[in-house]
Structure formats: C-alpha cells, structure tokens
Amino acid sequence: MRSLIGLALVMTFSLAVAPGCKRPPANAFPGTNTYASRIETFKITPKQAHEIAYKAAQKDGQLQYISRTPIVVVKRWYVFGIPQPSGADLRGYHVNGDTGEVKFMNEKKTIPNPGR
C-alpha cells in the first residue's frame, strides 16, 4: 500500500510544471504559434475534423452551428462554431484532435481572443 502511495506522489510531482516554466494555454486561436504547434500533435487534421463535424451537423440538421475552419482549439478539441468579433463562441461542434470523437455543445460561453 505504501509503495502505491509513494508511486502516486512521484507521478504527481513529475507531472507538475517545473518552477519558472509556463504551462501551455488551454485555448489556442488559429494564426498563433500555440495553435500551429498544438495541431501538429493531433492525429486528426483541421480539414479532417471539419469533415467529421460537417457530417454530424448535417445528420443533426444543425449546419447553422458549424464554421468552415476551427474557431479555436480547447485543450485537445477543435471547435467549429459561430465566430465572434471578440473571441470564440463554444456553441457548436467539437471534434477531438486525437480520436475524431464529435459532440455538439450547446454552451453559451465565449472564450475571449487576447489577440483581438
């Protein structure tokens, strides 16, 4: 039991961000270096993610909630929604960049774009 607790503590501390190092932001907007480096690590390209989202929106009859390109990446998810002048509206189709899982989020939250 003690070895399991010790292992858990070691794993917790090894996953922590080292002092002085910044954790990458959860949100990445297209046209930024953060976005470019994040999507390089995905198995699903933005084009493939759009095809997945489009098929789901078409099936659901909700094409009004899908953009042609991702409006933001939140953690490991592409977000296809309605672009806003000040940021990204999370209402829309989210596609996991690793698995291709798609889900519709009826979230009325907007992520502000610090670059605008």
Asked whether residue 9 is assigned to any structural domain, the reply reads no
Q: What is the pLDDT of residue 108?
A: 84
Domain that holds residue 107: 24-112
Distance between start and end Cα atoms, the chain: 52
Asked whether residue 10 is assigned to any structural domain, the reply reads no
Asked whether residue 17 is assigned to any structural domain, the reply reads no
Radius of gyration of the chain (CA): 17
Asked whether residue 68 is assigned to any structural domain, the reply reads yes
Asked whether residue 7 is assigned to any structural domain, the reply reads no
This prediction has a pTM of 0.78
Q: What is the pLDDT of residue 28?
A: 94
Asked whether residue 5 is assigned to any structural domain, the reply reads no
Per-residue pLDDT of the chain (116 residues; tens, 9 = 90+): 444 344 333 333 334 444 555 677 889 999 999 999 999 999 999 999 999 999 999 999 999 989 999 999 999 999 999 888 888 889 999 999 999 999 999 988 888 887 75
CB atoms within 10 A of CB 74: 17
Q: What is the pLDDT of residue 32?
A: 94
Look at the chain and report how many structural domains it folds into.
Answer: 1
Asked whether residue 8 is assigned to any structural domain, the reply reads no
